[in-house]
Amino acid sequence: MNSDLIGLGILALVGVFCGAASLSQLRRARIIEDTPTSKIRSAHQGYVELIGSAMLPENEAPLLSTLAGEPCLWFRYRIERYERSGKNSSWRTIESHSSTRPFILSDGTGICLVYPERAEVKSHRRRQWHGSSRRPSPGISTTSLLLGRRYRYTEERLCENDLIYALGIFDTRHPPSDTETNSARMAEILSEWKQDYDRLVARFDRNGDGQISPEEWELARREALRKAEREQRGKPSLDAINTLRYSPSRQQPFIIATSEPESLSRRYRWQSLAWLLGSLACIAGVAWLVQSGAVSMTAG
């Protein structure tokens, strides 16, 4: 097969890839621009946009980022190794990880538990440095080029009180009602009583036949329900839990960022333009190769 034809095919594929990436970034910009900001207190169930402050869940300690060991609510890191093969050299990723523990987003009207797994996170807290070992040495940071194997470390974080912009699936989980809670506890109590059947009979066998009749069992149920209600009175009521998660729909990107929606939208539009220019350059290259006759459309 003509090598020029292979090159033409590769150039065309790169052009298609760049075009698809351009459309993807443009679609994200439009979603950000067209989705109104919701308040947590009144947000509808489904795909929403929220803006608020990042908070640490109650009674939980901050995470420590893996590479720098700095406190945060979320982190992502990547370790790359500089490799040389002949005249070619490049950075190859040898390790990467993103934390998945949820954090709280508060907007003054309510709080929402954000699950960052599978999110497209864009944080201004990004740090990159170099070192001579796979894991960076504590307290040492250098950007100098070192002899032998060299490593590059990249780490991003979300921290407490950071401004958080988030797009994702909003869901409110309501606690069970008092009736449901009492019924469930009544069943547990009856199950406990049945473990000692002789004692159950001694307590509720009104006619002395050594058995629990349906009427006597109803007495036991009512007594168990009264006990469940007494226990419930001393417990504080549970609040509804709001969550924000990944959407399985490709038309609903899950985005978390530490920037205002206007600047985030502009960033996506600039990225879309850059990918579009790359696609147009590939198309121009393909057209030039075909028109110049440099490519033979037949093999042999």
CB-based contacts of 145: which residues, under 8 Å, 6+ apart?
130
Which range, 13-22, 47-56, 201-210, has the best average confidence (pLDDT)? Answer: 47-56
Q: What is the pLDDT of residues 212-264, one digit of tens each?
A: 888 888 888 888 888 888 888 867 666 789 999 999 998 899 999 999 988 88
Using CA atoms, how far apart are residues 192 and 135, in angstroms rounded to an integer?
A: 54
**How large is the average pLDDT for residues 147-165?**
89
Using CA atoms, how far apart are residues 138 and 115, in angstroms rounded to an integer?
A: 30
Domain parsing of the chain, residue ranges: 3-174+239-291, 178-233
Q: What is the pLDDT of residues 189-216, one digit of tens each?
A: 889 888 888 888 888 888 888 888 888 8
Matching residue, tokens 């009544």: 186
Q: What is the separation, in whole angstroms, between the first and last Cα of the chain? A: 7
Using CA atoms, how far apart are residues 214 and 153, in angstroms rounded to an integer?
A: 71
Which range, 107-116, 172-181, 237-246, has the best average confidence (pLDDT)? Answer: 107-116
* β pairing state of 163-173 and 241-245: antiparallel
| 169-199 b/e (C-beta count within 10 Å ≥ 16 → b) | bbbeeeeeeeeebbeebbeebbeebeeeeee
* β pairing state of 163-173 and 103-106: unpaired
Residue 174 is encoded by which pair of tokens? 């309501």
Is the whole model's pTM more than 0.75, yes or no? no
Q: What is the pLDDT of residues 23-46, one digit of tens each?
A: 888 888 999 999 999 999 999 999
Q: In what order do the strands lie in the sheet with 125-131?
A: 88-98, 74-85, 151-158, 125-131
